[in-house]
Amino acid sequence: MKKIYRFFCFGLAIMASCSSDDDQSVVADTNDNTQKEIISPIELSDYDNGSGVMMQTFYWDVEPRGEWWTNLSGKIDDWAESGVDRLWLPVATKGASGGYSMGYDPSDYFDFGEFDQHGTVETRFGSRQELETLIEKAHGKGLEVIADIVINHNSGGGEEYNPYRDKNTYTLFDELHGNASGMFNRNFENFYPNSTSNYDDGSLFYAEQNLDHNQEYVQNWLWKSENSVAKYYKNVMGFDGWRFDYVLGYEPWVVKAWLDEVGGFSVSELWDGNADVLSQYVDQTGSGVFDFATFYKLEEAMDRFDDLTVLEGKMLWKTHPDKSVTFAANHDTEKDENEDNRIADENKLKAYAYILTHPGYPTIFYSDYENEAFKEPLKQLVQIHNSLAIGDAEVLYVDNDEYIMKRAGTDDNPGLILYINTSGNTKKRTIKSAWNNSYLMDYTKNVHGSITSDENGEALIEAPANGYSIWSIAKVN
């Protein structure tokens, strides 16, 4: 069967190909009399699988200071149109570093940028009014807003004598000392050690200001009472869920109690690459967890060991797909040049292709999405994820530089086949699909034209050098 291909322009920096025709349709001769059929992609918008992706809306030390909420408000329309359904915001309240704080040094849990303390009224991200405008706009587009919650360590309090440490500590939080809102005032009795708890782990962040969650007073202010942090954030500010920071700093029952009280989407930052540890935490808390096991397997497979067979290892999505929050980068992994905590830029899109086709709930990192070399490919991957990434996952083939995975689809959805190639050459491999006597196309547009499967569903698929392709059925016009 002779095929005449129409090529198109696709602006992916690391594997670009360009011509004057942007149409992915293919003209195929059907017999020797030159009867032609037009082979076109299916409309992905017709295959809504109910999925979405979360956008991490910040990176370390965002600029310009004081304008971040307004900046994000201007991006909501684009994110919503692209298929994002949740926004993970940075810590929204006043930190000890004032206008320079990224929020991970929490001081006043109820100062969203309205009290003059730590040298500023606004937070690094802006005013309370600007935050409320952002949340309202996100909700208007059907996007949930996720609050970053830091309930382990505190910072920025006043100095007081602490009899349980026999020295002065910065554990006094009141209207004059780092807690201008006057809500959830604290002193040395609310931090470890105290009159009811002797626990002290010096390895924790700000160990001297490590909140004692066993105290009824602390529990009431964090999640139980009507004006608690959890209920104020949910009922007054309009947050829809929670990202729990550094959960190694407190026991799993704390997250479970919080969720039992107020509910909502949740994901915990348990920084551990052991899938069994992550799985146990999910079972203990009921919370979703960032899938560090998958992140590190991707880093090892594509960077450290350059061996895709690593992807056969344990990952949280394989046992708890509904609780696995996958990612290819975040504010911490991109903060420094630690190669063991970062996926190299040249492999980033392949890592996103993996998490956006496999089970789990993917997260997109702000700086990657706003990277002009990545933006359009990421939009296409999100569209594929929200439409065709459904059904059981099955690895069809894997070796050191090739990885092929099939999503089985459903009765009403064809599913997909992912092909990752980390070699320096184009790769082709015959695979067995569920698509018999069908035209197939690569929906990433990294491979042009169409192919056909035989009566047994076998097809010769292709992936570009150091790249990826995602195949599914095409339609005949």
Q: Within a 10 A sphere around the Cβ of 415, how many other Cβ atoms?
A: 24
Q: How far apart are CA 346 and CA 464, in angstroms?
A: 14
Bridge partners for 162 per DSSP: 167
**187 known member of a binding site:** no
Q: How far apart are CA 128 and CA 236, in angstroms?
A: 12
- Type of residue at 399: D
Determine contact, residues 428/404, Cβ cutoff 8 Å.
no
- Rounded CA-CA distance 111/218 in Å is 18
In degrees and rounded to multiples of 5, residue 406 shows phi and psi of -115, 135
User: Annotated catalytic, 269?
Assistant: yes
Omega before residue 362 within 30° of 0, cis: no
The active-site residue, picked from 105, 108, 144, 245, is 245
Q: Specify the length of the chain in residues.
A: 477
Q: Active site includes 300?
A: no
Active-site choice (130, 144, 148, 269): 269
Spatial distance between the Cα atoms of 285 and 149, rounded to a whole number of angstroms: 16
Amino acid, single-letter form, for residue 348: K
Query: What amino acid positions are annotated as catalytic residues?
Result: 245, 269
Residues in the annotated binding site: 152
Question: Which residues define the annotated binding site for Ca(2+)?
Answer: 152
